[in-house]
């Protein structure tokens, strides 16, 4: 057994140099860092909506990053345009964060405005920036930080904040963007209308590397809307993302407030100008894709990203929560000491299943919905990648009903593709129409050759009648 594992380790080491696609670990965001928020009559006061969420309540050190959305999955509220600048503010009286209108107009005028909210803690790549006389030039304020200085490849995300480190700063009702200055060798925040930058403006900033769920999108048509194309977004109305405009790739301004929208007709997410003005071809946007943590979109699996182990090793172990057969051919594999940066799609760890003649491996997990929840539907997805893989791998769920019946759902209509291919998103959903007692998901390979990588496995059971409109189902007016 020990010799076989050494051989497999060397095999993966040899194939690591081939893995030019996929996501770097720096782009991974824990699932519980993301949720959707909607302004409703019960949560608006003056020019703000008070956010009530476990991640943000009584947490004045949280760093919130907000992207407006034309509607969000899981709500039947009619979607609206939100054509104004926004920011975040911590209310010390209520110990709650708020999203506010930068133009000071009452938030009651924007009932049903929806937002994707990412919550981060202060860290090496998440910090505050304040505009001062010493860092302002014309319409820009330069960021001085070791992760952004001399790093034109960095992807920078921003949201204005009135509250930073206990200090209150000023409003800024401007369309914003970021760009890299070759003369200063620094990233900067700028006003899209090119007016003079003001002092005492504060911004939440975080920095990521491109890869996996983090990338730059460029508009290719002169329309007010540009369509995104990414395996984690396509046909996934419950995806969530943060977006920041980026001037750098093509030197294109877009002096408009932006938002995101899921086009259910095409199954694609989009970025759009809230005032319906056309974008200039080449307008660019930094995109970071995350997952929702509302009760509407459930992650019923334990450790579906394989980041937590149940063994004592950092690699070649059984992921916590999973049952494994034949661990010589299937195991949790991690980025050891920065050696295998592209081994996983996101995070540090992935599931690796290595082919062997006349042999197979299985990883399985069983989930039981709460008694009486009347969940009848199952939704599954995963990211997979093949290296010289033969056919014979599959991911499927056996569904057991409370009435004693059974059903099955596969992640793809056929076995996972043979050959060598980049990370791809596979998805399946089915309403069985019968109350579910338990679901057993299995990842199985019977390949004689090759290697299958599996990451970001998701399983949700739900009651379709409680989901409401999963996303805007009518064209944007």
Q: What is the pLDDT along the chain (477 residues), one digit of tens a residue?
A: 333 343 444 444 444 433 333 322 223 333 347 778 889 899 999 999 999 887 788 989 999 999 999 987 545 568 899 999 999 999 999 999 999 999 999 999 999 999 999 999 898 999 999 999 999 999 999 999 999 999 999 999 999 999 888 889 999 999 999 999 999 999 999 999 999 999 999 999 999 999 878 999 999 999 999 999 998 888 777 788 999 999 999 999 999 999 999 887 888 999 999 999 999 999 999 999 985 443 333 467 888 888 777 555 555 678 888 988 887 788 888 866 555 556 787 667 888 888 776 677 899 999 998 888 889 999 888 888 888 887 778 899 999 999 999 999 998 656 688 888 888 888 888 999 999 999 999 998 876 778 889 988 888 888 877 654 343 333 444
What are residue 16's DSSP bridge partners? Answer: none
Is 135:144 a contact under the CB 8 Å cutoff?
yes
User: Rounded distance, CA 453 to CA 211, Å?
Assistant: 17
Give, in order, the Cα–Cα distances in Å from 247 to each of 155, 217, 252, 282, 286.
Answer: 12, 12, 6, 9, 10
- Spatial neighbors of 379 by CB under 8 A, at least 6 apart, are 427, 428, 429, 458, 459, 460, 461, 462
Dihedral sign for Cα atoms in the order 7, 11, 16, 22: negative
User: Rounded distance, CA 409 to CA 432, Å?
Assistant: 10
List the 186-191 sheet strands across, edge first: 136-137, 140-142, 186-191, 176-181, 239-246, 284-291, 214-218
User: Rounded distance, CA 352 to CA 242, Å?
Assistant: 30
Token pair for residue 65? 């990053």
Give, in order, the Cα–Cα distances in Å from 269 to each of 407, 469, 471.
Answer: 31, 16, 11
- Spatial neighbors of 49 by CB under 8 A, at least 6 apart, are 37, 39, 40, 43, 98, 99, 100, 107, 113
The verdict on pTM exceeding 0.85 is: no
- Spatial neighbors of 173 by CB under 8 A, at least 6 apart, are 84, 85, 102, 103
The residue behind tokens 């290697």 is 451
Q: How many Cα atoms within 13 Å fall on the side-chain side of residue 461?
A: 29
- Tell me the CATH number of domain 2-22+305-466, given options 2.40.50.140, 2.40.37.10, 2.60.120.260, 3.40.50.300: 2.60.120.260
Give, in order, the Cα–Cα distances in Å from 240 to each of 27, 58, 268, 361, 456.
Answer: 14, 24, 12, 33, 15
CATH 2.60.120.260 residue ranges in the chain? Answer: 2-22+305-466
Is 97:90 a contact under the CB 8 Å cutoff?
yes
* Residue-level pLDDT at 166: 83
Q: How many Cα atoms within 13 Å fall on the side-chain side of residue 431?
A: 7
Q: How many helices (H) and strands (E) does the chain have?
A: 2, 32
State how beta strands 163-164 and 155-161 pair.
unpaired
Is 172:160 a contact under the CB 8 Å cutoff?
yes
């Amino acid at each position: 057994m020990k010799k076989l594992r050494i051989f497999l380790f060397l095999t993966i080491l040899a194939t690591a140099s081939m893995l030019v696609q996929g996501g770097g670990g720096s782009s991974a965001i824990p699932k519980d860092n993301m949720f959707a928020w909607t302004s409703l009559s019960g949560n608006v006061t003056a020019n703000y909506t008070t956010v009530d969420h476990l991640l943000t309540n009584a947490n004045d050190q949280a760093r919130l990053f907000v992207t407006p959305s034309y509607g969000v999955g899981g709500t039947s509220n009619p979607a609206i345009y939100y054509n104004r600048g926004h920011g975040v503010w911590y209310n010390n009286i209520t110990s709650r964060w708020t999203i506010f209108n930068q133009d000071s107009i009452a938030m009651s005028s924007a009932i049903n405005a929806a937002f994707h909210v990412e919550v981060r803690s202060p860290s090496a790549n998440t910090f505050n920036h304040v505009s001062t006389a010493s860092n302002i030039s014309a319409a820009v304020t330069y960021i001085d930080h070791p992760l952004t200085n001399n790093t034109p490849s960095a992807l920078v995300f921003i949201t204005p904040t009135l509250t930073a480190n206990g200090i209150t700063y000023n409003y800024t009702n401007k369309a914003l963007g970021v760009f890299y200055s070759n003369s200063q060798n620094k990233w900067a925040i700028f006003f899209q209308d090119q007016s003079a930058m003001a002092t005492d403006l504060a911004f939440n900033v975080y920095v990521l590397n491109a890869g996996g769920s983090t990338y730059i999108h460029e508009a290719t048509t002169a329309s007010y809307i540009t369509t995104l194309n990414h395996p984690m977004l396509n046909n996934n109305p419950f995806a969530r993302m943060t977006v920041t405009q980026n001037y750098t790739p093509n030197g294109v301004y877009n002096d408009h407030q932006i938002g995101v929208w899921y086009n259910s007709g095409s199954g694609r997410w989009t970025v759009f100008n809230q005032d319906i003005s056309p974008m200039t071809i080449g307008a660019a946007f930094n995109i970071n894709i995350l997952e929702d943590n509302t009760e509407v979109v459930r992650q019923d699996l334990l450790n579906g990203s394989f980041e937590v182990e149940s063994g004592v090793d950092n690699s070649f172990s059984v992921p916590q929560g999973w049952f494994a057969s034949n661990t010589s051919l299937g195991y949790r594999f991690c980025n050891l000491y920065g050696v295998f940066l592209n081994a996983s799609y996101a995070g540090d760890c992935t599931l690796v299943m290595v082919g062997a003649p006349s042999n197979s491996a299985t990883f399985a997990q069983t989930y039981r919905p709460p008694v009486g929840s009347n969940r009848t539907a199952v939704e599954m997805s995963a990211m997979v990648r093949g290296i010289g893989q033969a056919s014979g791998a599959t991911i499927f769920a056996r569904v057991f009903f409370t009435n004693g019946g059974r059903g099955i759902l596969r992640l793809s209509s056929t076995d996972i593709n043979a050959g060598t291919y980049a990370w791809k998103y596979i998805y399946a959903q089915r309403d069985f129409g019968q109350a579910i007692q338990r679901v057993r998901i299995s990842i199985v390979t019977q390949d004689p050759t090759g290697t299958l990588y599996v990451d970001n496995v998701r399983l949700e059971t739900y009651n379709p009648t409680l989901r409401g409109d999963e996303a805007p189902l009518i064209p944007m007016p």
